[in-house]
Structure 1
Protein backbone atom coordinates (compact mmCIF):
# COMPACT_ATOMS: atom_id res chain seq x y z
CA UNK A 1 0.00 0.00 0.00
CA UNK A 2 1.34 3.40 -0.93
CA UNK A 3 2.12 5.78 1.88
CA UNK A 4 -0.26 8.68 2.39
CA UNK A 5 0.89 12.04 1.14
CA UNK A 6 2.66 14.20 3.68
CA UNK A 7 1.39 17.38 2.00
CA UNK A 8 -1.02 18.44 4.78
CA UNK A 9 1.71 18.55 7.49
CA UNK A 10 3.93 20.54 5.12
CA UNK A 11 1.15 23.06 4.54
CA UNK A 12 0.57 23.28 8.28
CA UNK A 13 4.25 24.00 8.89
CA UNK A 14 4.19 26.65 6.18
CA UNK A 15 1.15 28.28 7.76
CA UNK A 16 2.85 28.22 11.15
CA UNK A 17 5.90 29.91 9.65
CA UNK A 18 3.72 32.54 8.00
CA UNK A 19 1.91 33.11 11.28
CA UNK A 20 5.22 33.52 13.13
CA UNK A 21 6.43 36.03 10.56
CA UNK A 22 3.22 38.07 10.68
CA UNK A 23 3.22 38.01 14.48
CA UNK A 24 6.85 39.15 14.65
CA UNK A 25 6.08 42.01 12.26
CA UNK A 26 3.11 43.12 14.37
CA UNK A 27 5.21 43.10 17.53
CA UNK A 28 8.14 44.84 15.84
CA UNK A 29 5.86 47.54 14.44
CA UNK A 30 4.54 48.34 17.89
CA UNK A 31 8.04 48.23 19.37
CA UNK A 32 9.35 50.68 16.77
CA UNK A 33 6.36 52.98 17.38
CA UNK A 34 6.90 52.91 21.15
CA UNK A 35 10.69 52.87 21.38
CA UNK A 36 12.04 53.80 17.96
CA UNK A 37 14.36 51.80 15.76
CA UNK A 38 16.99 51.46 18.50
CA UNK A 39 14.94 48.76 20.23
CA UNK A 40 16.96 45.55 20.32
CA UNK A 41 16.19 42.44 18.31
CA UNK A 42 16.29 40.39 21.53
CA UNK A 43 13.62 42.65 23.06
CA UNK A 44 11.43 42.14 19.99
CA UNK A 45 11.88 38.36 20.16
CA UNK A 46 11.02 38.34 23.87
CA UNK A 47 7.91 40.47 23.34
CA UNK A 48 6.84 38.24 20.44
CA UNK A 49 7.29 35.13 22.56
CA UNK A 50 9.67 33.49 20.09
CA UNK A 51 13.25 32.38 20.38
CA UNK A 52 16.04 34.50 18.90
CA UNK A 53 16.63 31.74 16.33
CA UNK A 54 13.08 32.08 15.01
CA UNK A 55 13.42 35.85 14.78
CA UNK A 56 16.78 35.78 13.00
CA UNK A 57 15.65 33.01 10.67
CA UNK A 58 12.86 35.29 9.44
CA UNK A 59 14.75 38.58 9.72
CA UNK A 60 18.55 38.20 9.85
CA UNK A 61 19.05 41.93 10.53
CA UNK A 62 16.99 44.72 11.99
CA UNK A 63 17.07 46.36 8.56
CA UNK A 64 15.18 43.33 7.21
CA UNK A 65 12.44 44.00 9.75
CA UNK A 66 12.35 47.68 8.85
CA UNK A 67 12.26 46.92 5.12
CA UNK A 68 9.30 44.59 5.58
CA UNK A 69 7.42 47.12 7.70
CA UNK A 70 8.21 50.02 5.38
CA UNK A 71 6.48 48.18 2.54
CA UNK A 72 3.17 49.35 3.98
CA UNK A 73 4.47 52.89 4.51
CA UNK A 74 5.84 52.91 0.97
CA UNK A 75 2.42 51.98 -0.38
CA UNK A 76 0.92 54.89 1.57
CA UNK A 77 3.63 57.18 0.20
CA UNK A 78 2.81 56.10 -3.34
CA UNK A 79 -0.87 56.84 -2.70
CA UNK A 80 0.09 60.36 -1.64
CA UNK A 81 2.14 60.74 -4.82
CA UNK A 82 -0.88 59.75 -6.89
CA UNK A 83 -3.09 62.19 -4.97
CA UNK A 84 -0.59 65.02 -5.47
CA UNK A 85 -0.40 64.35 -9.20
CA UNK A 86 -4.20 64.27 -9.45
CA UNK A 87 -4.85 67.41 -7.41
CA UNK A 88 -1.93 69.76 -8.10
CA UNK A 89 -1.19 71.16 -11.56
CA UNK A 90 1.62 73.47 -10.42
CA UNK A 91 4.80 71.37 -10.59
CA UNK A 92 6.62 73.51 -8.04
CA UNK A 93 3.89 73.14 -5.44
CA UNK A 94 3.65 69.43 -6.27
CA UNK A 95 7.35 69.10 -5.43
CA UNK A 96 6.81 70.92 -2.13
CA UNK A 97 3.95 68.58 -1.28
CA UNK A 98 6.06 65.57 -2.20
CA UNK A 99 8.88 66.75 0.07
CA UNK A 100 6.34 67.03 2.91
CA UNK A 101 5.20 63.47 2.15
CA UNK A 102 8.81 62.29 2.18
CA UNK A 103 9.28 63.81 5.62
CA UNK A 104 6.27 61.96 7.00
CA UNK A 105 7.53 58.69 5.50
CA UNK A 106 11.03 59.22 6.89
CA UNK A 107 9.64 59.86 10.37
CA UNK A 108 7.44 56.76 10.48
CA UNK A 109 9.54 55.58 13.44
CA UNK A 110 11.81 57.52 15.75
CA UNK A 111 15.39 57.15 14.56
CA UNK A 112 14.45 55.87 11.09
CA UNK A 113 16.44 58.57 9.22
CA UNK A 114 19.74 57.01 10.32
CA UNK A 115 19.24 53.54 8.75
CA UNK A 116 17.78 55.24 5.66
CA UNK A 117 20.90 57.39 5.42
CA UNK A 118 23.11 54.33 5.78
CA UNK A 119 21.13 52.57 3.03
CA UNK A 120 22.09 55.36 0.62
CA UNK A 121 25.81 54.60 0.93
CA UNK A 122 25.99 50.88 1.70
CA UNK A 123 23.94 47.95 0.47
CA UNK A 124 21.19 47.06 2.93
CA UNK A 125 17.65 45.66 2.81
CA UNK A 126 16.48 49.29 2.78
CA UNK A 127 18.57 50.28 -0.24
CA UNK A 128 16.07 49.20 -2.88
CA UNK A 129 13.26 51.09 -1.16
CA UNK A 130 15.38 54.25 -0.98
CA UNK A 131 16.30 53.93 -4.65
CA UNK A 132 12.65 53.61 -5.65
CA UNK A 133 11.74 56.74 -3.68
CA UNK A 134 14.67 58.64 -5.20
CA UNK A 135 13.52 57.69 -8.72
CA UNK A 136 10.03 59.01 -7.97
CA UNK A 137 11.53 62.19 -6.53
CA UNK A 138 13.60 62.62 -9.68
CA UNK A 139 10.48 62.42 -11.86
CA UNK A 140 8.60 65.00 -9.77
CA UNK A 141 11.65 67.28 -9.65
CA UNK A 142 12.14 67.05 -13.42
CA UNK A 143 8.59 68.27 -14.01
CA UNK A 144 9.26 71.27 -11.76
CA UNK A 145 12.51 71.97 -13.60
CA UNK A 146 10.85 71.77 -17.02
CA UNK A 147 8.21 74.28 -15.91
CA UNK A 148 10.84 76.63 -14.53
CA UNK A 149 9.98 76.17 -10.85
CA UNK A 150 13.13 74.31 -9.80
CA UNK A 151 16.79 74.92 -10.48
CA UNK A 152 18.74 72.88 -12.97
CA UNK A 153 21.76 70.99 -11.70
CA UNK A 154 20.08 69.37 -8.70
CA UNK A 155 18.88 65.78 -8.61
CA UNK A 156 16.20 63.69 -7.00
CA UNK A 157 18.89 62.23 -4.77
CA UNK A 158 19.79 65.75 -3.59
CA UNK A 159 16.16 66.42 -2.68
CA UNK A 160 15.86 63.03 -0.96
CA UNK A 161 18.98 63.61 1.13
CA UNK A 162 17.87 67.15 1.98
CA UNK A 163 14.50 65.86 3.20
CA UNK A 164 16.31 63.11 5.10
CA UNK A 165 18.53 65.66 6.84
CA UNK A 166 15.44 67.62 7.89
CA UNK A 167 13.77 64.45 9.19
CA UNK A 168 16.90 63.67 11.21
CA UNK A 169 17.07 67.21 12.60
CA UNK A 170 13.42 67.10 13.63
CA UNK A 171 14.22 64.09 15.80
CA UNK A 172 17.06 65.79 17.64
CA UNK A 173 16.69 67.23 21.12
CA UNK A 174 17.61 70.68 19.78
CA UNK A 175 14.56 70.80 17.49
CA UNK A 176 11.52 72.89 18.36
CA UNK A 177 8.15 73.66 16.77
CA UNK A 178 9.75 75.95 14.16
CA UNK A 179 12.50 73.58 13.06
CA UNK A 180 10.64 71.70 10.34
CA UNK A 181 9.18 74.73 8.55
CA UNK A 182 12.42 76.69 8.83
CA UNK A 183 14.51 73.90 7.35
CA UNK A 184 11.95 73.23 4.62
CA UNK A 185 12.24 76.91 3.66
CA UNK A 186 16.02 76.57 3.59
CA UNK A 187 15.72 73.51 1.35
CA UNK A 188 13.29 75.31 -0.95
CA UNK A 189 15.72 78.22 -1.25
CA UNK A 190 18.16 75.64 -2.56
CA UNK A 191 15.92 74.07 -5.21
CA UNK A 192 13.26 76.69 -5.89
CA UNK A 193 13.19 79.56 -8.35
CA UNK A 194 11.45 82.70 -7.16
CA UNK A 195 8.24 83.45 -9.01
CA UNK A 196 8.16 86.67 -11.02
CA UNK A 197 6.49 89.36 -9.00
CA UNK A 198 5.62 92.92 -9.78
CA UNK A 199 7.68 95.55 -7.96
CA UNK A 200 6.03 97.07 -4.95
CA UNK A 201 4.52 100.50 -5.61
CA UNK A 202 6.56 103.48 -4.44
CA UNK A 203 4.64 105.48 -1.91
CA UNK A 204 4.46 109.22 -2.47
CA UNK A 205 6.15 111.45 0.03
Structure 2
Protein backbone atom coordinates (compact mmCIF):
# COMPACT_ATOMS: atom_id res chain seq x y z
CA UNK A 1 0.00 0.00 0.00
CA UNK A 2 2.80 2.38 0.85
CA UNK A 3 4.54 1.86 -2.48
CA UNK A 4 1.26 2.33 -4.36
CA UNK A 5 0.51 5.56 -2.49
CA UNK A 6 4.01 6.86 -3.13
CA UNK A 7 3.72 5.98 -6.81
CA UNK A 8 0.37 7.75 -7.05
CA UNK A 9 1.75 10.89 -5.46
CA UNK A 10 4.72 10.80 -7.81
CA UNK A 11 2.43 10.50 -10.84
CA UNK A 12 0.33 13.43 -9.66
CA UNK A 13 3.47 15.49 -9.05
CA UNK A 14 4.86 14.62 -12.48
CA UNK A 15 1.51 15.48 -14.10
CA UNK A 16 1.36 18.86 -12.35
CA UNK A 17 5.00 19.55 -13.25
CA UNK A 18 4.26 18.77 -16.92
CA UNK A 19 1.19 21.02 -16.87
CA UNK A 20 3.11 23.90 -15.30
CA UNK A 21 5.95 23.50 -17.80
CA UNK A 22 3.55 23.46 -20.76
CA UNK A 23 1.88 26.64 -19.49
CA UNK A 24 5.23 28.40 -19.12
CA UNK A 25 6.25 27.41 -22.65
CA UNK A 26 2.84 28.34 -24.10
CA UNK A 27 2.97 31.74 -22.37
CA UNK A 28 6.32 32.45 -24.02
CA UNK A 29 5.24 30.99 -27.36
CA UNK A 30 1.98 32.94 -27.61
CA UNK A 31 3.78 36.14 -26.57
CA UNK A 32 6.18 35.64 -29.48
CA UNK A 33 3.89 34.14 -32.13
CA UNK A 34 0.38 35.23 -31.17
CA UNK A 35 -2.36 32.79 -30.28
CA UNK A 36 -2.61 31.30 -33.77
CA UNK A 37 0.72 29.53 -33.31
CA UNK A 38 0.72 25.75 -33.75
CA UNK A 39 -0.24 23.61 -30.76
CA UNK A 40 2.15 20.93 -32.01
CA UNK A 41 4.93 23.53 -32.04
CA UNK A 42 4.18 24.28 -28.38
CA UNK A 43 4.41 20.58 -27.55
CA UNK A 44 7.72 20.32 -29.41
CA UNK A 45 9.19 23.34 -27.63
CA UNK A 46 8.01 21.95 -24.29
CA UNK A 47 9.67 18.63 -25.04
CA UNK A 48 6.46 16.60 -24.75
CA UNK A 49 4.40 14.64 -27.24
CA UNK A 50 1.21 16.15 -28.71
CA UNK A 51 -0.78 13.53 -26.81
CA UNK A 52 0.57 14.81 -23.49
CA UNK A 53 -0.32 18.39 -24.44
CA UNK A 54 -3.86 17.48 -25.45
CA UNK A 55 -4.43 15.40 -22.33
CA UNK A 56 -3.81 18.53 -20.28
CA UNK A 57 -5.44 20.97 -22.70
CA UNK A 58 -7.84 19.37 -25.21
CA UNK A 59 -7.94 22.48 -27.42
CA UNK A 60 -6.48 25.96 -27.85
CA UNK A 61 -9.32 27.60 -25.88
CA UNK A 62 -8.63 25.38 -22.86
CA UNK A 63 -4.95 26.34 -22.99
CA UNK A 64 -5.80 30.04 -23.30
CA UNK A 65 -8.28 29.79 -20.41
CA UNK A 66 -5.56 28.31 -18.20
CA UNK A 67 -3.06 30.99 -19.25
CA UNK A 68 -5.56 33.76 -18.58
CA UNK A 69 -6.46 32.50 -15.11
CA UNK A 70 -3.75 34.55 -13.38
CA UNK A 71 -4.75 37.61 -15.43
CA UNK A 72 -8.39 36.96 -14.52
CA UNK A 73 -7.42 37.16 -10.85
CA UNK A 74 -5.57 40.44 -11.48
CA UNK A 75 -8.63 41.86 -13.27
CA UNK A 76 -10.87 40.75 -10.41
CA UNK A 77 -8.55 42.56 -7.99
CA UNK A 78 -8.84 45.68 -10.16
CA UNK A 79 -12.64 45.39 -10.00
CA UNK A 80 -12.60 45.22 -6.21
CA UNK A 81 -10.22 48.18 -5.97
CA UNK A 82 -12.32 50.32 -8.32
CA UNK A 83 -15.56 49.53 -6.47
CA UNK A 84 -14.00 50.40 -3.12
CA UNK A 85 -11.90 53.41 -4.08
CA UNK A 86 -13.74 55.21 -6.91
CA UNK A 87 -16.95 56.90 -5.81
CA UNK A 88 -17.79 58.57 -9.12
CA UNK A 89 -19.66 56.04 -11.29
CA UNK A 90 -18.55 57.69 -14.54
CA UNK A 91 -14.88 57.36 -13.58
CA UNK A 92 -15.43 53.84 -12.22
CA UNK A 93 -16.88 52.61 -15.51
CA UNK A 94 -14.07 54.24 -17.49
CA UNK A 95 -11.42 52.65 -15.24
CA UNK A 96 -13.05 49.23 -15.47
CA UNK A 97 -13.17 49.41 -19.28
CA UNK A 98 -9.50 50.41 -19.29
CA UNK A 99 -8.70 47.38 -17.13
CA UNK A 100 -10.63 45.08 -19.49
CA UNK A 101 -8.78 46.62 -22.43
CA UNK A 102 -5.44 45.78 -20.82
CA UNK A 103 -6.60 42.25 -19.98
CA UNK A 104 -7.71 41.53 -23.54
CA UNK A 105 -4.34 42.51 -25.03
CA UNK A 106 -2.45 39.81 -23.10
CA UNK A 107 -1.61 38.06 -26.39
CA UNK A 108 -1.72 39.13 -30.01
CA UNK A 109 -4.96 37.90 -31.57
CA UNK A 110 -6.73 37.23 -28.27
CA UNK A 111 -9.88 39.30 -29.02
CA UNK A 112 -11.03 36.82 -31.70
CA UNK A 113 -11.47 33.73 -29.48
CA UNK A 114 -12.97 35.89 -26.72
CA UNK A 115 -15.53 37.27 -29.16
CA UNK A 116 -16.31 33.75 -30.35
CA UNK A 117 -16.65 32.57 -26.75
CA UNK A 118 -19.57 34.94 -26.22
CA UNK A 119 -21.56 33.12 -28.90
CA UNK A 120 -20.21 29.60 -28.34
CA UNK A 121 -21.30 28.59 -24.87
CA UNK A 122 -19.15 25.45 -24.94
CA UNK A 123 -15.85 27.36 -25.08
CA UNK A 124 -13.77 27.24 -21.86
CA UNK A 125 -13.44 31.01 -22.25
CA UNK A 126 -17.21 31.57 -22.26
CA UNK A 127 -17.67 31.60 -18.48
CA UNK A 128 -14.81 34.08 -18.02
CA UNK A 129 -16.19 36.41 -20.68
CA UNK A 130 -19.73 36.24 -19.36
CA UNK A 131 -18.53 37.06 -15.86
CA UNK A 132 -16.76 40.18 -17.10
CA UNK A 133 -19.80 41.18 -19.17
CA UNK A 134 -21.89 40.99 -15.99
CA UNK A 135 -19.35 43.14 -14.12
CA UNK A 136 -19.37 45.66 -16.97
CA UNK A 137 -23.16 45.82 -16.71
CA UNK A 138 -22.91 46.48 -12.97
CA UNK A 139 -20.58 49.44 -13.49
CA UNK A 140 -22.73 50.67 -16.38
CA UNK A 141 -25.99 50.52 -14.43
CA UNK A 142 -24.44 52.57 -11.61
CA UNK A 143 -23.42 55.23 -14.14
CA UNK A 144 -26.86 55.12 -15.76
CA UNK A 145 -28.57 55.61 -12.40
CA UNK A 146 -26.47 58.74 -11.90
CA UNK A 147 -27.26 59.96 -15.39
CA UNK A 148 -23.64 59.83 -16.58
CA UNK A 149 -24.16 57.01 -19.11
CA UNK A 150 -26.82 56.77 -21.81
CA UNK A 151 -29.77 54.56 -20.91
CA UNK A 152 -29.69 52.65 -24.21
CA UNK A 153 -26.09 51.41 -23.75
CA UNK A 154 -25.67 47.73 -22.82
CA UNK A 155 -22.80 46.16 -20.89
CA UNK A 156 -22.43 43.41 -23.47
CA UNK A 157 -21.92 45.98 -26.21
CA UNK A 158 -19.34 47.86 -24.15
CA UNK A 159 -17.44 44.61 -23.61
CA UNK A 160 -17.58 43.82 -27.34
CA UNK A 161 -16.46 47.36 -28.15
CA UNK A 162 -13.45 46.88 -25.89
CA UNK A 163 -12.59 43.67 -27.76
CA UNK A 164 -13.00 45.49 -31.08
CA UNK A 165 -10.75 48.34 -29.94
CA UNK A 166 -8.10 45.85 -28.82
CA UNK A 167 -8.25 44.17 -32.22
CA UNK A 168 -8.00 47.50 -34.04
CA UNK A 169 -4.86 48.47 -32.09
CA UNK A 170 -3.06 45.62 -33.80
CA UNK A 171 -4.24 46.54 -37.30
CA UNK A 172 -1.67 47.60 -39.88
CA UNK A 173 -3.11 51.12 -40.08
CA UNK A 174 -2.93 51.72 -36.32
CA UNK A 175 -0.20 53.95 -34.88
CA UNK A 176 0.87 55.00 -31.39
CA UNK A 177 -2.05 57.41 -30.99
CA UNK A 178 -4.68 54.83 -31.97
CA UNK A 179 -5.25 53.22 -28.53
CA UNK A 180 -6.12 56.51 -26.80
CA UNK A 181 -8.20 57.65 -29.76
CA UNK A 182 -10.22 54.44 -29.78
CA UNK A 183 -10.88 54.67 -26.04
CA UNK A 184 -12.01 58.29 -26.44
CA UNK A 185 -14.32 57.38 -29.31
CA UNK A 186 -15.91 54.60 -27.31
CA UNK A 187 -16.28 56.79 -24.24
CA UNK A 188 -17.96 59.53 -26.26
CA UNK A 189 -20.54 56.91 -27.26
CA UNK A 190 -21.57 55.72 -23.79
CA UNK A 191 -20.94 58.87 -21.72
CA UNK A 192 -23.52 61.58 -21.14
CA UNK A 193 -21.54 64.84 -21.33
CA UNK A 194 -21.50 67.02 -18.27
CA UNK A 195 -23.09 70.47 -18.62
CA UNK A 196 -19.71 72.22 -18.73
CA UNK A 197 -18.44 69.81 -21.39
CA UNK A 198 -21.56 70.18 -23.48
CA UNK A 199 -21.52 73.98 -23.36
CA UNK A 200 -17.81 74.04 -24.09
CA UNK A 201 -18.25 71.91 -27.20
CA UNK A 202 -20.63 74.47 -28.67
CA UNK A 203 -18.23 77.37 -28.39
CA UNK A 204 -16.56 78.46 -31.53
Fold match (TM-score > 0.5):
yes
Match for residue 41 of structure 2 among 36, 40, 43: 43
Give how far 1:180 is off: 1.4
Kindly tell me the number of residue pairs found equivalent between the two proteins.
198
Residue equivalent to 2:139: 140
Uncovered stretches (5+) of structure 1, i.e. residues with no partner: 201-205
Asked if residue 62 in structure 1 is aligned to residue 92 in structure 2, the reply is no
- Distance in 2, matches of 1:109 and 1:146, equals 35
| Greater share of residues in helix | 2
- Distance in 1, matches of 2:44 and 2:26, equals 11
Residue equivalent to 2:76: 78
Moved more, 167-176 or 183-192: 183-192
Asked if residue 183 in structure 1 is aligned to residue 182 in structure 2, the reply is yes
| TM-score normalised according to structure 1 size | 0.92
Aligned pairs for 1:1-205 within 5 A: 6-123=4-121, 124-197=123-196, 199=199
| TM-score normalised according to structure 2 size | 0.93
- Distance in 1, matches of 2:81 and 2:131, equals 18
- Distance in 2, matches of 1:84 and 1:176, equals 29
> CA offsets, 1:97-146, max 9 Å, x none?
11111110000011101111111111311111100111111111111111
- Distance in 1, matches of 2:115 and 2:103, equals 13
Give how far 1:86 is off: 2.6
Give how far 1:4 is off: 5.7
Q: Which has the larger radius of gyration?
A: 1
- Distance in 1, matches of 2:112 and 2:148, equals 30
RMSD: 1.4
Moved over 3 A (4+): none
- Distance in 1, matches of 2:2 and 2:32, equals 49
- Distance in 1, matches of 2:110 and 2:72, equals 14
With over 3 angstroms needed to count, the CA separation of the structure-2 counterparts of 1:176 and 1:4, relative to structure 1, is closer
> CA offsets, 1:37-87, max 9 Å, x none?
111101100110000000011101011100001110011111111222232
Give how far 1:7 is off: 1.3
Residue equivalent to 1:203: none
Matched residue SS, 1:120: helix
